[in-house]
Amino acid sequence: MAMQGPYDQETKRYVDARPRYPDQWFSKLSALTSRHALAWDVGTGNGQSAVTVAEHYERVVATDISEPMLKKGIPHPRVQYLHTPPSLSEDEMVAMVGGEDSVDLITVATAIHWFDIPKFYSIAKRVLRKPGGVIAVWTYTDIIGVNPEVERVSRRLREACKPYWKPGVQYVFEEYRTLPFPFESVGLGCEGQPLQLDMPRETSFETFLSWQRTSSAIATAKQNGVDLLTDDVVKEFETAWGGSDLVRTVNCKVFMLAGTVKA
C-alpha cells in the first residue's frame, strides 16, 4: 500500500511505545464477518493488531511499506508479513493479498491517513468478500485523563508540530470525521460519524515521553534540524506528570469506522 514511512528511523522506540488495542474490539469485528478464513491488516507496523486478529481468523496477511518495521513483526503462526512498496500496482496488490472477493476482514490501525486513500479503497473493494466482508479503520488522538497540566503542555506541543504535519495527519486531529469512508455501516461508526472508544492504559513517564518522541511531526522536525521536544519541554512534562517515577492511568480517545461494500 502506498504509504509514507515516517517511523523508519525510530522503529524500535516506536514499537515499544505504541499501545495495545483492546481484544474485545477484534472479537466484535470478527463477529460481524460471515467467514473467518482470511484477514488483511494494512499498515501493520510491528503487527500489534495482526496478531490479535489472528486469534479469530485462519490466516492474516499483514502488509506495510516499511521494511524496518516489518523486521520487528511479532511472530505468529497464522500471520504472514509482506512488504508492499509504493510501486506495486492495484492488480499486484489484489493478487498479493489473496485475490478478488477473498478477504473477510480488513483492519487499518492508526495508519489509513498515510495511504493513497482512493487507491486503497479501490483495492479494498475488490478483495473484500461480497457479501459478508468487513473493513474497519481507526485512529487514536490525544492522550487525555492525565491531568490538566499535562494536557496543556501537550496542546502547546501539538501547535508547534503543525508546520511539520505530513499530508493526511489532519484526518487524525479531525477525529476521522472528515475521512472519506464509502462503505455501508455495520453499526460501528459511519462516514462523518466515527464511533468513539476509550483505550485506558497504565503508563510510565518514560513510555509517555516515547509516545511524544515517536510522533511523525516531531520525527520530521528533527530531520529538518528542529528539536520540538527540548529539555525544557521534557522538564515541563515531568513536572506536570508528577515526577518521572510515577505510573499513571491515561486514556486515549479512539475513533473507528467500519463497514461493508455497498451493494
What CATH number should be reported for the domain holding residue 179?
3.40.50.150
Considering its fold, how many domains does the chain have in total? 1
Task: Say if 81 falls within a structural domain.
Answer: yes
Tell me, yes or no, whether 237 lies in a domain: no
Q: Is-contact 39 57, C-beta < 8 A?
A: yes
Range of the domain at 48: 18-141+166-199+252-260
pLDDT digits (tens, 9 = 90+) for 53-96: 999 999 999 999 999 999 999 999 999 999 999 999 999 999 99
Evaluate whether residue 50 is within a structural domain.
Answer: yes
As given in the structure block, the three cell numbers for residue 175 are 477525529
Domain presence at residue 4: no
Q: Which three three-digit cell numbers place residue 96? A: 498479493
pLDDT averaged per 10 residues in sequence order, the chain, 263 residues: 45 53 93 97 95 97 95 96 96 98 97 94 98 96 79 90 84 94 97 93 88 84 92 94 91 93 90
1, part of any domain: no
The DSSP secondary-structure symbol of 3 reads B
Distances (CA, A) of 54 to 80, 113, 167, 257: 10, 24, 31, 20
Answer yes or no: is 204 within a domain: no
C-alpha cell at 246: 510515577
Give residue 62's Cα distance to chain centre. Answer: 13
> What's the predicted TM-score (pTM) here?
0.86
Q: What is the pLDDT of residue 103?
A: 98
Is residue 133 in some structural domain? yes
pLDDT at position 26: 96
What CA–CA distances, in Å, run from 263 to 122, 126, 129?
Answer: 15, 13, 12
Cell of 62: 499483514
* Element holding 27 (H helix, E strand): helix 23-32
For residue 164, give the DSSP letter: G
Please check whether residue 154 lies inside any domain of the structure. Answer: no
